[in-house]
């Protein structure tokens, strides 16, 4: 049997950064994943993910985004410059939107650079957007897009360079309870066994499958579809120089400009049906494709006849309200859950990894919002 200081199960963005932060603190780490870093079934698998600072009144996530953006940029450095695109992020809002007011107040308090734009300014800057129902916006010029799948692969590669051992393997549910206070090892389905002092399960949508008694009804994996529309030939109105990444809660949508010539990306930010991350279909449905086509034609008239050039199907790993889950298993004090990214977790990978390492190794204060106790069995989404 092999022995490590820490076993991290799951090489998505949370597990990769957690392994990296433990390795930076000289711990002997095993990182193990059933399929591979940011594999096609994982929530971290997307081509691209938004990193923005705005979070309404949820200052905790604004501050984590600030911390994470600094860490992502330092990590990418000169070696991996293409993994962050500073497209800017535009928060579109209708008249009197309370969330946009809260976002502006929080960004100002946290020292985040932003601009407020009225309807006239929006019309002038973004003629490619049909602004029906939109009255105002916040623009974060230094936020943008992380190239998700490749960024996670790079973090794992760097972690291996720092001494982390990486293996492919499916870890089975460890036995807990019956008077036990901790666990001493985990096993793969193939029978390998790994001993350690600490075990971190950063298994995204799988957390409920691995720990059905504790998390089966506290993690809600939902099906989410993403579409890329091919821009008209030679048209630069949808390039990152002309169109920022945008979000409009009123329409429950977000999208991105034509990055790396993948096309204009758009998604509905509405929870789909509950799915199994191992087996759900990765093919989009015709009904959803029609809805998205109609939406794009209305909001971006120049893309009325644009073809869908690529699609992705993924799953959010929601907690009841969208707050992360970072806490101990109630039956084993050295077994940690790290997950609940809830459709907004990717950007926070570096800050989450740092928080986990500091909390476990240095006894850093816990954040009550991340506790298991606060996770309900009924969904009432509050964090976006
Ligand atoms: C469509 C979509 C759009 C999103 N957009 C954004 C965005 O714009 N900005 C943003 O910040 N966030 C966004 N998110 C959320 C973000 O991508 C997720 O919160 C984040 O990637 C979750 O990472 P994770 O490491 O917790 O989970 P995952 O990436 O799912 O990783 C979990 C890993 O655990 C492994 N695993 C599971 N069970 C086992 C086992 N038994 N043994 C070994 N390994 C196991 C899996 O193979 C997987 O690799 C989006 C998510 C989706 C789906």
Q: In the predicted model, what is the mean pLDDT of the chain?
A: 97
Atom number of ligand 1 nearest to Cα 341: 19
Considering the entire predicted model, what is its pTM?
0.98
- Residue 26 banded pLDDT, cuts 50, 70, 90: very high
For residue 178, pLDDT over 80 is answered with: no
- Residue 1 banded pLDDT, cuts 50, 70, 90: confident
- Region 218-239 average pLDDT: 98
Residue 13 CA to ligand 1 centre (angstroms): 7
For residue 241, the model assigns a pLDDT of 97
For residue 309, the model assigns a pLDDT of 98
For residue 198, the model assigns a pLDDT of 98
Closest CA to 145 of 18, 47, 13: 47
Distance CA(305)–CA(267), nearest Å, equals: 18
Our mutation pick for probing the ligand 1 site, out of 42, 219, 381, counting the most ligand atoms within 8 A of Cβ, is: 42
Q: What is the CA radius of gyration of the chain?
A: 21
- Region 4-28 average pLDDT: 98
For residue 144, pLDDT over 80 is answered with: yes
Residue 342 CA to ligand 1 centre (angstroms): 9
Distance CA(20)–CA(183), nearest Å, equals: 23
For residue 177, the model assigns a pLDDT of 76
- Region 110-114 average pLDDT: 98
Atom number of ligand 1 nearest to Cα 312: 1
For residue 175, the model assigns a pLDDT of 93
For residue 47, the model assigns a pLDDT of 95
Atom number of ligand 1 nearest to Cα 277: 30
Our mutation pick for probing the ligand 1 site, out of 257, 346, 352, 356, counting the most ligand atoms within 8 A of Cβ, is: 346
- Region 211-226 average pLDDT: 98
* Sheet bearing 115-118, strands edge to edge: 115-118, 136-140, 89-93, 245-248, 253-256, 264-268, 220-229, 308-318
Ligand 1 pocket, residue 347 CB under 6 Å: yes
Our mutation pick for probing the ligand 1 site, out of 9, 12, 171, 201, counting the most ligand atoms within 8 A of Cβ, is: 12
Asked if residue 7 lies in contact with residue 198, where contact means CB atoms within 8 angstroms, the answer is yes
Closest CA to 208 of 177, 259, 179, 173: 173
Tens digits of residue pLDDT in 38-72: 999 999 999 999 999 999 999 999 999 999 999 99
Ligand 1 pocket, residue 383 CB under 6 Å: no
Q: How far is CA 143 from CA 67, 71, 162, 192, in A?
A: 12, 13, 28, 43
For residue 180, pLDDT over 90 is answered with: no
Ligand 1 pocket, residue 275 CB under 6 Å: no
For residue 238, pLDDT over 80 is answered with: yes
Spell out the alpha helix ranges (H) of 77-181. 98-109, 119-125, 148-161
Residue 259 CA to ligand 1 centre (angstroms): 21
């Amino acid at each position: 049997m092999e022995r490590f200081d820490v076993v991290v199960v799951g090489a998505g963005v949370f597990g990769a950064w957690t392994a990296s932060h433990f390795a930076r603190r000289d711990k002997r780490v095993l990182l193990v994943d059933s399929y591979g870093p940011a594999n096609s079934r994982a929530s971290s698998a997307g081509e691209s993910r938004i990193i923005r600072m705005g979070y309404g009144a949820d200052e905790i996530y604004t501050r984590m985004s600030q911390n994470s953006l600094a860490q992502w940029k330092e990590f990418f450095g000169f070696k991996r410059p293409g993994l962050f695109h500073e497209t800017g992020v535009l928060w579109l809002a209708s008249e009197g939107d309370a969330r946009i007011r809260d976002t502006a107040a929080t960004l100002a308090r946290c020292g985040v650079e932003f601009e407020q734009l009225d309807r006239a300014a929006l019309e002038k800057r973004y003629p490619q957007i049909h602004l029906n129902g939109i009255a105002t916006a916040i623009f974060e010029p230094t936020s943008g897009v992380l190239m998700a799948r490749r960024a996670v692969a790079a973090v794992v590669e760097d972690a291996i360079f720092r001494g982390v051992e990486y293996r492919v393997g499916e870890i089975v549910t460890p036995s807990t309870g019956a008077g036990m206070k901790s666990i001493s090892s985990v096993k793969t389905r193939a029978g390998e066994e790994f001993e350690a002092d600490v075990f971190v399960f950063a298994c995204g949508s799988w957390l409920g499958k691995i720990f059905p008694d504790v998390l089966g009804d506290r993690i809600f994996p939902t099906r989410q579809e993403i579409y890329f529309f091919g821009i008209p030939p030679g048209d630069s109105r949808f390039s990152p120089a002309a169109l920022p990444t945008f979000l409009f809660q009123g329409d429950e949508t977000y999208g991105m400009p034509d990055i790396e010539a993948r096309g204009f990306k758009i998604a509905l930010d509405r929870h789909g049906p509950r799915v199994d991350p191992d087996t759900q279909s990765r093919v989009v449905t015709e009904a959803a494709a029609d809805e998205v086509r109609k939406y794009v034609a209305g909001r971006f008239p120049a893309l009325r006849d644009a073809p869908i050039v690529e699609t992705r199907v993924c799953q959010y790993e929601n907690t009841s309200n969208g707050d992360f889950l970072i806490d101990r298993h109630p039956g084993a004090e050295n077994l940690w859950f790290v997950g609940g990214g809830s459709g907004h977790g990717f950007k926070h990978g570096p800050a989450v990894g740092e928080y986990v390492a500091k909390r476990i190794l240095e006894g850093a204060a816990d954040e009550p919002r991340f506790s298991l106790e606060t996770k309900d069995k009924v969904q009432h989404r509050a964090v976006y």
